[in-house]
Amino acid sequence: MTRKTPQVEEPSEKELVVENGPKSWAAGVPGVYHSMKPAIEQMGLNRTRKTVMAMNQKDGFDCPSCAWPDPHHRKAFEFCENGAKAVTWEATPITIPSSFWAEHPVSELRSRSEYWLGMQGRLTEPVYKPAGEDHYKPVSWDEALRIVADKLKGLDSPDRAAFYTSGRTSNEAAFLYQLLVRGYGTNNLPDCSNMCHESSGWAMGQTIGIGKATVSFDDYANADLIIIMGQNPGTNHPRMMTELENCKHNGGEIVAVNPLPEAGLRRYKNPQQVNGVIGHGVQIADQFLQIRIGGDMALLQAVSKRVLDAEARKPGTVLDHAFLAEHCEGLEELKEHLARLDESAVLEATGLRSEDIDELAARYLKAEKVIITWAMGITQQKKGVATIKEIINLLLLRGNIGKPGAGASPIRGHSNVQGDRTMGIWEQMPQSFMEALGKEFDFEPPREHGTDAVETINQMRDGEIKVFVALGGNLVAAISDTNAAEAAMENTEMTVQISTKLNRSHAVTGREALILPTMGRTEIDIQESGPQFVSVEDTVCAVHPSWGSVEPVSHQLLSEPAILSRLGKLLVGTKIKADWDGFEKNYDLIRDHISRVVGGCEDYNQRIRQDGGFVLANGPRDSRTFPTPTGKAVLTVNDLEHVQRPAGTLILQSMRSHDQFNTTIYSHNDRYRGIKKGRHVVFVNPDDLAELGLADGQYVDIRGVYEDGEERVVRKFRVVSYPTARGCAAAYYPEANVLVPLNHTAEGSNTPISKAVIVRLEPSLDQAPDSAPPVSAGAARP
Ligand SMILES: Nc1nc2c(c(=O)[nH]1)N[C@H]1C(S)=C(S)[C@@H](COP(=O)(O)OP(=O)(O)OC[C@H]3O[C@@H](n4cnc5c(=O)[nH]c(N)nc54)[C@H](O)[C@@H]3O)O[C@H]1N2
Ligand SMILES: Nc1nc2c(c(=O)[nH]1)N[C@H]1C(S)=C(S)[C@@H](COP(=O)(O)OP(=O)(O)OC[C@H]3O[C@@H](n4cnc5c(=O)[nH]c(N)nc54)[C@H](O)[C@@H]3O)O[C@H]1N2
Ligand SMILES: [Mo]
């Protein structure tokens, strides 16, 4: 393949354009145009046809952009704007040449932006940076893997290493990875889920016995009411919009709870339908509750209280008594607790009016089938776990779990983050899993819990963890407290990144560092036994195969299962009974083990091949069986608390723009929020601006208000007057991660509180655009 050169255009500060306020609708013709143009420009028509148009087809690959499920009756081409961007980013024919490493020292890569790094193209050969040197240099696969294995073998305990996973990893690779890590001897398996839906897993595990959604795909269109909390589906789960539209079409109602009036939650123009492309689209939300950040727990308690009050007025008519009696416990305690709920505290926490909450309660009471969905606005909060327990309370009161058209629906982020957990990527896998694993491979797995993402950074900072291996992702940029995280990463002896593209975690490294390039999901994977597929699990527990559809960008690339088989052979070898060579040749062998170790995956090889896969059993959803210690679903009592904001401060959330995938920046635009050519912005309510004496368009420094002696500040962000909830502000992730203290985490789940940082906005000394040095040098390579 001829090498194409990357075109990296980084806008300067003065180019930033702020259009008038948020867009009132999502998708439509611009959606199609914005994603197809770069695809065709970069890949040409043929590769675009084989990628963008093959995604989510039964014989194609699973879209790497999000965990939203596939419809049973797939259209020839289910268009998704952000799916197309993700695929173009991965399947680009632009590659990094061998000469790149001599031309660009690591210290230079460190001064580059995420955007610049990602735009350099695909990684194609293993590279190694020896201690004390400032350059990576190409090495052979054998040498690279030997360096890693020797280093790990030399540590005084396997717990001196940590093995991170990001959620694009397939089930097969995830299973092999946890096997080699446990075979080596540690449970230090932090993953992106620790920063994502961990709060959902905890809350649901403790209340209904399973940390996964209790809905299936068809339920969305059949619900009477869908309440969407702390989620921006128009950007982050665009294909969900079709199901929301179907729900409305069938007479259902939709309520959005969000501090921001997000475009997709207002009106949606379906790019699949002619009337969506040219007409006004469908109004999505019947009610929009513009909540204060962190107010959801109070809102949910207030709605549950209204449900209980309605029951008290007309006994026997409101609650699902049969369901509560047979399947639940804790009703009396909940009643007693909510009887004391203070409405004024609710109004303060939520910033809403009583009438708005009455209206939501009336909609809830009218509906026979209710789904509540949520994402990061709920999980990345100090009270995230308790808030999700309140979601479960509200659903249980009227039997909205385990019946068609109803249920609890955390919407996962990464396309296989849920499958990775099912396969054993968790620092706290239950003992039953360890026993099955030990029996299957004839060894004694480590039993002590390992480190999660935050604890891994803490232990790297303290010098306890000396080697960091990552199967995908970009931990140093994704985790909170960027300066602390970077210092921790640099304090290690070795970092190893298995990646498709360059990112910050390749530039902020341990003393020795390796990059092991891997094939992506879009690429055809041929091994000794023939073409291979991998498998993934979506947000509603459906497991299906994923087949690559384009030629790999380089024949030097190894697949993730191949890299892990080879590393496993060197590091663990015959210490456990595993056919490492066989795994690489034929992924069926890996799946045979999965069948015997992972509950619910019996006959995996056969079931994954039948009609596009199978759905994992789910007790609460399928039969109202709750695998809790008592066998009942638990209504819980949670003490109300909300985010306190000292005078003169704001509550800052950090969120995704329309043109990024987590730490990967596709462009500097955020079309739905009216931002062009810039990301250093902070959205603030105009009344707050007036109160704080700040002006729209002014430059401010954002300072975290924490008294732990650390200075956390980002400089020269442009203020954008924006209709967010009062007292709240928003900036983009990962730029704002500097401001989130590392040990500022959700109770129970230890997830960084990325959605509620207390900050002060201080006018920047320098108000002239471009007079300060830019954040990154950002020049294009000739
Ligand atoms: N295109 C694209 N798709 C993606 C991703 C991506 O980066 N790009 N990332 C993937 C991943 S890993 C994930 S986890 C998901 C993330 O999907 P989302 O959770 O939708 O992502 P965020 O951008 O973090 O948006 C959080 C939303 O919560 C709202 N919010 C913030 N605080 C509160 C609060 O206190 N209460 C309420 N009710 N709302 C609040 C914000 O205004 C925002 O609308 O998307 C996945 N899909
Ligand atoms: N402030 C703040 N921080 C957050 C969040 C937030 O909302 N606010 N969200 C959190 C959430 S929800 C998440 S999930 C995390 C995300 O954390 P991560 O999952 O660690 O980050 P990503 O940016 O998704 O990782 C992108 C990198 O993965 C690699 N990659 C891509 N595809 C593949 C593949 O197929 N194989 C391999 N081996 N590598 C691949 C590429 O090199 C790419 O640069 O960030 C969290 N951090
Ligand atoms: Mo996520």
Task: Starting from the CA of residue 474, give the closest ligand.
Answer: 2
Tell me if 781 sits within 8 A of 416, measured CB to CB: no
> Which of the four pLDDT bands, split at 50, 70 and 90, describes residue 279?
low
Q: Residue 75 pLDDT > 90, yes or no?
A: no
pLDDT at 3: 57
Q: Residue 668 pLDDT > 50, yes or no?
A: yes
The environment of the single-atom ion ligand 3, i.e. residues with CB closer than 5 A, is: 196, 413
Phi, psi of 462 (to 5 degrees): -80, 0
pLDDT at 278: 62
Alpha-carbon torsion, ordered 274, 280, 284, 289, to 10 deg: 160
What is the distance in A from the centroid of ligand 1 to the CA of 492?
Answer: 31
At 319, the amino acid letter reads: L
pLDDT at 185: 98
pLDDT at 388: 98
pLDDT in tens, 425-455: 999 999 999 999 999 999 999 999 999 999 9
Task: Starting from the CA of residue 656, give the closest ligand.
Answer: 1
- Counting Cβ atoms within 10 Å, is residue 156 exposed (0-12), middle (13-18) or buried (19+)? exposed
Q: Mean pLDDT, to the nearest integer, of 610-633?
A: 95
Instruction: Residue 625: count other Cβ atoms within 10 Å of its Cβ.
Output: 17
pLDDT at 585: 98
> Which of the four pLDDT bands, split at 50, 70 and 90, describes residue 1?
very low
Task: Starting from the CA of residue 297, give the closest ligand.
Answer: 1
Which residue did the predictor score with more confidence, 64 or 244? 244
- What's the pTM value of the predicted model, to 2 decimals? 0.96
> Which of the four pLDDT bands, split at 50, 70 and 90, describes residue 707?
confident
> Which of the four pLDDT bands, split at 50, 70 and 90, describes residue 681?
very high
- Rounded Cα distance, 29 and 27, in Å: 7
Which ligand 1 atom minimizes the distance to the CA of 661?
A: 7
> Which of the four pLDDT bands, split at 50, 70 and 90, describes residue 776?
very low
Q: Residue 535 pLDDT > 70, yes or no?
A: yes
Ligand 2 atom 39: residue of nearest CA:
472
Which ligand 1 atom minimizes the distance to the CA of 86?
A: 1
pLDDT in tens, 575-599: 999 999 999 999 999 999 999 999 9
Tell me if 468 sits within 8 A of 207, measured CB to CB: no
What is the distance in A from the centroid of ligand 1 to the CA of 482?
Answer: 20
Q: Residue 302 pLDDT > 80, yes or no?
A: yes
What is the distance in A from the centroid of ligand 1 to the CA of 641?
Answer: 22
Ligand 2 atom 7: residue of nearest CA:
655
Ligand 2 atom 40: residue of nearest CA:
472
What is the distance in A from the centroid of ligand 1 to the CA of 662?
Answer: 10
Ligand 1 atom 15: residue of nearest CA:
413
Among 47-51, 235-239, 276-280, 492-496, the range scoring the smallest mean pLDDT is 276-280
In the chain, the domains with their CATH numbers are 13-91 (no CATH), 99-195+416-618 (3.40.50.740), 198-410 (3.40.228.10), 650-763 (2.40.40.20)
**Average pLDDT score, the chain:** 93
Q: Are strands 267-269 and 282-283 parallel, antiparallel or unpaired?
A: antiparallel
- Rounded Cα distance, 682 and 717, in Å: 6
What is the distance in A from the centroid of ligand 2 to the CA of 95?
Answer: 21
pLDDT in tens, 217-243: 999 999 999 999 999 999 999 999 999
**Listed residue (410, 408, 405) closest to 380, CA to CA:** 410
Q: Which residues line ligand 1 (CB under 6 A)?
A: 65-66, 82, 196, 229-232, 235-237, 257-260, 262, 291, 293-294, 296, 375-377, 413-414, 653, 655-656, 660-662, 755
pLDDT in tens, 126-162: 999 999 999 999 999 999 999 999 999 999 999 999 9
Strands (E), 145-291: 161-165, 225-229, 253-257, 267-269, 282-283, 287-289
What is the distance in A from the centroid of ligand 3 to the CA of 143?
Answer: 34
Using left for φ > 0, alpha for ψ between -120 and 50, and beta otherwise, residue 121 falls in left
- H or E segment at 684? strand 681-684
Residue 142: strand, helix, or coil: helix
| Distances, alpha carbon 196 to alpha carbons 4, 272, 330, 704, in Å | 35, 30, 28, 22
Tell me if 695 sits within 8 A of 689, measured CB to CB: yes
Tell me if 205 sits within 8 A of 408, measured CB to CB: no
What is the distance in A from the centroid of ligand 1 to the CA of 232?
Answer: 5
Ligand 2 atom 35: residue of nearest CA:
520
Tell me if 683 sits within 8 A of 759, measured CB to CB: no
> Which of the four pLDDT bands, split at 50, 70 and 90, describes residue 749?
very high
